[in-house]
Amino acid sequence: MHSQSPPPVTFGETPFTRSKRRREKIAFAVFAGMVACIVIPLFLIVGYLVKEGAPLISWDFLTTNPVGGMRKGGIWSALLGTFWLVGTSLCISAPIGVLAAVYLNEYAKDNWFNRVINLAVVNLAGVPSIVHALFGLGAFVLFAHMGRSIIAASLTLAIMTMPVIIASTKESLAAVPRQFREACWNVGATRWQTIWHIVLPNSISGILTGVILQVSRTAGETAPIMFTGAVFYRKIEEGNFFAYGLADQCMALSMHLFTVTTQVTNAPHALPFAIATVLLGFVLMVNLTAILLRSWLRGRKKW
Amino acid sequence: MSDTRMSITTRDLKLWYGKFQALKGIDLDIKSGMITSLIGPSGCGKTTLLRCFNRINERYGNVTTTGEIKLLGKNIYDPDVSLIELRKAIGMVFQRPNPLPISIYENVVFGLLIHSENKPSRRDLDDAVEKALTEVGLWKDLKDRLNDRAIGLQLEQQQKLCIARLLPLKPQIILMDEPCSALDVEGTRAIEELMWSLAGRYTILIVTHNMAQARRASSECIFMLLGELIEHSRTEDLFLTPRESRTAEYIEGRYG
């Protein structure tokens, strides 16, 4: 067979190739445009919030209680309340969620029972927060006689975040290559030794990221805490980080923002913006910590 | 004036991964329509060299290439070379069979579809599938289940399918990177027979770790060591009367 002597090969562009490249460029432009659609409004919103809220924000604003029917003063009790709620709920959901994920990913056999559990976890993550709120009200506030309190609200938040923590942890565990586990078993390590020495250290960055990202979600939720522990107004000792106890009711930033915007008449224009800015700043700082922690842990990762 | 008897020529081809030099000035002339095998110990640059020819190396950052590579008389680093057209004309077969996660039929026509301006008629596609699968010897076994998942095939069939996937595009050159290392004896024999049946119409360049395979399944053989081309001659000559002592020692199995 000798049919190739016609024009010399050039690998040059045909009109068709050119049109393909053009379409590629269009696709690229569309994708980039979509990213812009997300990023630009984000910057506008944040910029607007900060600009409108800036006149009110000061150290005093953060560290004094609201006064004068919440029209004056600061947001100390709400800020501290958010800290407590987030911190407590995380202390509950992180260990349980992570360990459950370790069990599901490393120990559980692939049978119908565990598949049902996995399905339940995934579905739980999609339950609306108001449903969690009602569950929390029924289970913790009323049935367990905790009353409306930080602990009841935190437990409700923990129940809400746990499925997501389980899912993200499972994913980072599954990302550790199987060869590492095989190598471990090969020298006679038990499952637990494998998990402790190899699997966890190599997935910790992903696990922590998943956990910390839940902080921002917890901080922003209003519905679950409204029925279970957050109050309209509460005055606490200024400057004392332990002004709240677990059995106390508390204020929270998200709830405070809601009341100031909708229930309080004649609140200064800048007040809701300032509260939103503080809430946003809180979340941003937590996320920033997550990013820094992740990059630090990635650097320590051995593969 | 380009020499049409040569499919691939390189002059002083050098390649660095970062600071590490993987190819140290390769001068190469590979004849059209022949099976040429590339042998040498691990890390000698066989695969790197193979991957130069469809410019897939540059997909990975931090790679520097200098020198000249001519495919079918055309320097593939010329600015007017379209990577789309180049890769269409140069087929590649990988170590692990990599059928796409679609049906057998769709695998074979995949290249045809993405390279056709107007959607080819069902007839043309059917013909192309039959022709390509017949050429790789799969038609008889698979003609009744063309819509099955390609991933579900035996490894040997998967690898043949990967070769069949290239054929409708009428590639000039087929690059094979250890195409049999995941296959058993039967599969290896089948692929080698297939290579012989394709030789003549296609230029085939095969990287192999298996010296016996190079001996069985190629007309010319290239021995590489530490990024240099040591010897290039007819396969028989290279194995029976190697010119270089390093080649002789490798073939005898003194190192490997």
Is the minimum CB–CB distance between A24 and chain B shorter than 8 Å?
no
Q: CB–CB of B151/B101 below 8 Å? A: yes
Question: What is the C-alpha separation between B240 and B252, in angstroms, rounded?
Answer: 11
**DSSP labels for chain A?**
-----SSPP--PPPHHHHHHHHHHHHHHHHHHHHHHHHHHHHHHHHHHHHHHHGGG-SHHHHHS-EETTTTEE--HHHHHHHHHHHHHHHHHHHHHHHHHHHIIIII--SSHHHHHHHHHHHHHTTS-HHHHHHHHIIIIIIIT---SSHHHHHHHHHHHHHHHHHHHHHHHHHTS-HHHHHHHHHTT--HHHHIIIIIHHHHHHHHHHHHHHHHHHHHH--HHHHTTTB-S-----TT-TT---TTS-B--HHHHHHHHHHT-TT--THHHHHHHHHHHHHHHHHHHHHHHHHHHHHHH---
Q: What is the pLDDT of residue A269?
A: 86
- Stretch A230-253: mean pLDDT, rounded? 84
B128: helix, strand or coil? helix
CB nearest to B117's CB, from A4, A8, A16: A16
Q: What is the pLDDT of residue B50?
A: 92
Shortest distance between the Cα of B170 and any Cα of chain A, in A, equals 11
Shortest distance between the Cα of B247 and any Cα of chain A, in A, equals 34
CB pairs under 8 A between A and B: 44
- Radius of gyration of chain B measured on its C-alpha atoms: 18
Q: B189: exposed, middle or buried (C-beta count within 10 Å: 0-12, 13-18, 19+)?
A: middle
Q: Residue A175: name the closest of A192, A198, A141, A147 by CA.
A: A198
Interface test with B, best of A11, A20, A22 (most B CBs within 10 A): A11
pLDDT 10s digits, B113-135: 999 888 899 999 999 999 999 98
Supply A75's token pair.
């947001």
B contact set with A (CB within 8 A): 2, 4, 71-74, 76, 80-82, 84-86, 89, 115, 117, 172, 200-201
Quick check: B84 and A21 CB within 8 A? yes
How would residue A211 be classed by pLDDT, with cut points 50, 70 and 90?
Answer: confident
Is the minimum CB–CB distance between A295 and chain B shorter than 8 Å?
no
pLDDT 10s digits, A266-282: 888 888 999 999 999 98
Q: What is the pLDDT of residue A1?
A: 46
Q: Tell me, what DSSP letter sits at residue B119?
A: P
Is the minimum CB–CB distance between A11 and chain B shorter than 8 Å?
yes
How would residue A212 be classed by pLDDT, with cut points 50, 70 and 90?
Answer: confident
Q: What is the pLDDT of residue B4?
A: 60
Q: What is the pLDDT of residue A226?
A: 87
Q: Cα angle vertex A82, ends A78, A86, to 5°?
A: 170
pTM above 0.90, yes or no: no
CB nearest to A13's CB, from B2, B85, B115: B85
Quick check: A10 and B71 CB within 8 A? no
Q: What is the pLDDT of residue B3?
A: 52
pLDDT at residue B2 above 50? no
B227-233 contacts, C-beta under 8 A, 24 or more apart: B227/B21, B227/B22, B227/B23, B227/B24, B227/B44, B227/B45, B228/B24, B228/B25, B228/B26, B229/B26, B229/B27, B229/B28, B230/B40, B232/B28, B232/B29
Q: B227: left (phi > 0), else alpha (psi -120 to 50), else beta?
A: left
Q: What is the pLDDT of residue B62?
A: 87
Fold of B34-55+88-252: Rossmann fold (3.40.50)
Quick check: B82 and A8 CB within 8 A? no
Please list every residue in chain A whose beta carbon sits closer than 8 Å to the beta carbon of residue B82: 11-14, 17
Considering only alpha carbons, which residue of chain B is nearest residue A5? B4
| Backbone φ, ψ for residue B61 (5° rounding) | -65, 170
Q: How far is CA A225 from the centre of its chain?
A: 16
pLDDT 10s digits, A179-208: 999 998 899 999 899 999 889 888 888 888
pLDDT 10s digits, B86-112: 999 999 999 999 999 999 999 999 999
- Stretch A240-264: mean pLDDT, rounded? 86
pLDDT at residue A27 above 70? yes
Q: CB–CB of A52/A269 below 8 Å? A: yes
- Stretch B245-251: mean pLDDT, rounded? 91
- Stretch A90-95: mean pLDDT, rounded? 92
pLDDT at residue A244 above 90? no
Considering only alpha carbons, which residue of chain A is nearest residue B117? A16
Q: Is the ipTM of this complex over 0.85?
A: no
Supply A191's token pair.
């499952």
Question: What is the C-alpha separation between A134 and A228, in angstroms, rounded?
Answer: 9
- Stretch A95-109: mean pLDDT, rounded? 91
Domain ranges of chain A: 78-266
Q: What is the pLDDT of residue A6?
A: 53
pLDDT at residue A241 above 90? no
Question: What is the C-alpha separation between B234 and B228, in angstroms, rounded?
Answer: 18
Domain ranges of chain B: 34-55+88-252
H-run or E-run covering B234: strand B228-234
Quick check: A5 and B4 CB within 8 A? yes
Domain A78-266 has CATH 1.10.3720.10: yes
- Stretch B22-41: mean pLDDT, rounded? 92
Q: What is the pLDDT of residue B223?
A: 93
pLDDT 10s digits, B144-193: 999 999 999 998 899 999 999 999 998 989 999 999 988 888 888 888 99
Question: What is the C-alpha separation between A269 and A3, in angstroms, rounded?
Answer: 82
Quick check: B89 and A16 CB within 8 A? no
Supply B226's token pair.
């530490």
B103: helix, strand or coil? strand
Question: What is the C-alpha separation between B91 and B188, in angstroms, rounded?
Answer: 19
Give me the sign of the Cα torsion angle B194, B197, B200, B201: negative
